[in-house]
Structure 1
Amino acid sequence: MTQWQLLQGDILLGELSEYGCDQPFFLAHFTPGPGWESAMGLFEAWAALRGPDPDGSRTVAVMKPLRDLGLTLAPVGGGQPVLQVFRNCTLRIDGSEARLRY
């Protein structure tokens, strides 16, 4: 399965190791990296978002700060393109588990 590095510029926030699929998401184990603290709270807020959001305002309020971080997913060992998180893919991280859709 694919392994990814979650990056903010050159700073490693963590690594994802895909292990399965729950369509339309790929499931991955997440291992925090040295820069994780800077984004952890934003991903926790995204993971905690539940329930109806008819006008999408709660979702936007949580996702915009994440999008503004300019995060990328780079495949370990190359072979696939680098993905811009929340532009080319959707990523949820909840503790040691991640869900990725690209």
Structure 2
Amino acid sequence: MTHWQLLQGDILLGELSEYGCAQPYFLARFAPGPGRENVRPLFEALAALAGPDPDGPRTVAVVKPLLDLNLTVVPAGGGPSLLRVFKNCWLRIDGAEARLRY
């Protein structure tokens, strides 16, 4: 399975370890990194959204601050793949669980 790093610039926010798939998402365990507290409340607000509104105003209001942080997901071992969170991929983190779609 693939291991990813969630970064804000060169600050490690956490690591994702894929363990399965629930189409269209890859399921992963999330291990927080040193910069996690900078984004924790924003991802918690996204995880708290429930019900229909995938592209509605509530979701946009929660995603916009995350989008503005220019977060990236990169393979932990390095490599050319770089995904810009909420531009090239969708990422939800809920505690120790994450869902990644790219």
With normalisation by structure 2, the TM-score equals 0.95
Looking at structure 2, the residues matched to 53 and 15 of structure 1 have their Cα atoms a distance apart, in angstroms, of 28
Q: Which residue in the other structure is 1:37 paired with?
A: 37
Aligned length: 102
For 2:13 and 2:55, how far apart are their aligned partners in 1? 31
User: Partner amino acid for 1:9?
Assistant: G
Rate the CA distance shift 1:55–1:93 in 2: closer, same or farther, 3 A: closer
Distance 1:80 1:22 in 2: 25
TM-score, length-scaled by structure 1: 0.95
Q: Residues 10-21 of structure 1: matches in 2 within 5 Å?
A: 10-21=10-21
Q: Which residue of 1 aligns with 2:87?
A: 87
Which residue identity does 2:88 align to in structure 1?
A: N
Could you list the per-position Cα deviations for residues 4-47 of structure 1 after superposition, in whole angstroms to 9, with x for gaps in the alignment?
A: 00000010000000000000000000000000000000000000
Deviations 1:66-90 (A, max 9, x none): 1011000010113451110000000
**What stretches of structure 2 of length at least 5 have no aligned partner?**
none
CA RMSD of aligned residues (A): 1.4
Q: How far, CA to CA, are the matches of 2:2 and 2:25 in structure 1?
A: 13
> How high is the sequence identity, in percent, across the aligned residues?
75
CA distance in 2, matches of 1:45, 1:85: 16
Q: In the TM superposition, what is the alpha-carbon distance from 1:53 to its structure 2 partner?
A: 2.8
Match of 1:97 in 2: 97
